[in-house]
Chains A and B, each alone.
Chain A
């Protein structure tokens, strides 16, 4: 059991469809991160929230991607017009120990 819940665990979608993932930290954190992991790679930073403010976005986050954290608690990540290259595991994380993260179990996206 991690301190972060992600939903859904798996998503299969057709190319061109929109998908939305949700991240719920179990305890309140003002900081929240989204990462993406593809096969053979380590997790790559996508975006960072401090409370409801999105303070940093990676260049990996194209204009088809949007993330929100409307009340500074849960967060959503939406991908519009999905492409096969979007297939990956999307990970949400909150801080632990002041210098590391605890990750959720991730959402595995497969675009067919």
Chain B
């Protein structure tokens, strides 16, 4: 059962435009959501996060929006740059318990065209 879903395997955007990456989840008990960026042959790098009690968090060019009623979050990158080309994973943390493990989506490959 895939609790975190990224339905778009890939996205292509022109440099300078906005990139919007989407993520859906099924478990209403998740308390934190995170976005990671991954280049080939490297581990994922933390990008931005949002608590389930908020609906927006911004960090420079990156903004994450959370719609709890729709169980949907999105990552906006503006303006997009060629160096943003990578695979983006959304992840969710289960509430409570000792493990605090993250559950990841399958990723979206973003290609920013110069």
A positions within 8 Å CB-CB of B? 2, 4, 6, 9, 31, 33, 40-45, 48, 50, 55-56, 89, 91, 93, 95-97, 99-106, 108
Taking the nearest CB of chain A, how far is it from the CB of B90, in angstroms? 8
Chain A hits for B41, CB < 8 A = 9, 105-106, 108
Give the number of residue pairs across the A-B interface with Cβ within 8 Å: 72
* Chain B interface (Cβ < 8 Å from any Cβ of A): 4, 6, 9, 31-32, 34, 36, 41-46, 49, 89, 91, 93, 98-107
The answer on a CB contact under 8 Å between B43 and A105 is yes
Q: In the complex, what distance in Å separates the CA atom of A9 from the CA atom of B73?
A: 33
Please list 18 pairs of residues, one from A and one from B, whose beta carbons are closer than 8 Å in the complex, sorted by A's number.
Answer: A2-B43, A40-B106, A42-B104, A42-B106, A43-B89, A45-B101, A55-B99, A56-B99, A93-B43, A97-B46, A99-B93, A100-B49, A100-B91, A101-B102, A103-B45, A104-B43, A105-B41, A106-B43
